Structure 1
Amino acid sequence: MLAGRHIVITGGGSGIGLAMARKFVSQGASVLIAGRNKEKLEKAVSSLGGNAQYLVFDVSKVEMIVILLYGRNQSWEASTAWFAMRAFHCMKVTSDM
């Protein structure tokens, strides 16, 4: 259902963000989870399998947002859904879906 889609979830190392990542991966999406705690992110990615990556990221730092938006693999641009969990109170920021 989501094969070929790329989804970025901030706050994806635990809780609702991790649950969303599991659901999206199970439906064929490639998922990038972002957060501040590297160990938590590594553990989450290992539980998600091969379609998941992580990025240590602090949403309160503007320069980090630029890295997240423009510093990733260019193939992610065309079909990426962005979800910001903690910083935007679980509000979907933008989506191509």
Structure 2
Amino acid sequence: MSIGTEKQFCTALEWNYSDDTVDIVLKYIQNYLETASELELWSIWLGNEESPINIKKTLCKVSDLTTDRLKEFYNNESDFQCLTVVNSIGGSTE
């Protein structure tokens, strides 16, 4: 199985949802996007998948990103997903 991104840098973030934690994650994303054009958040299960998978991709402006949106992303365990957060919709390379 190959799930890829064209990003130069990747890191993993494992966290348990709480109101405090989601606030920290939101502030981190907002701060990061002060100097970058976009950031991808992925929610995937790594394993021995034999069949093709569908990845739900969505795009969001950083100004529209809220703790509720992050909570929805975090709690959606049934889908493989990628949320691309951008400074402005025109700034996306997607």
TM-score, normalization: structure 1? 0.37
Q: Which has the bigger relative contact order, CA under 8 A and spacing at least 6?
A: 2
User: Max radius of gyration: which structure?
Assistant: 2
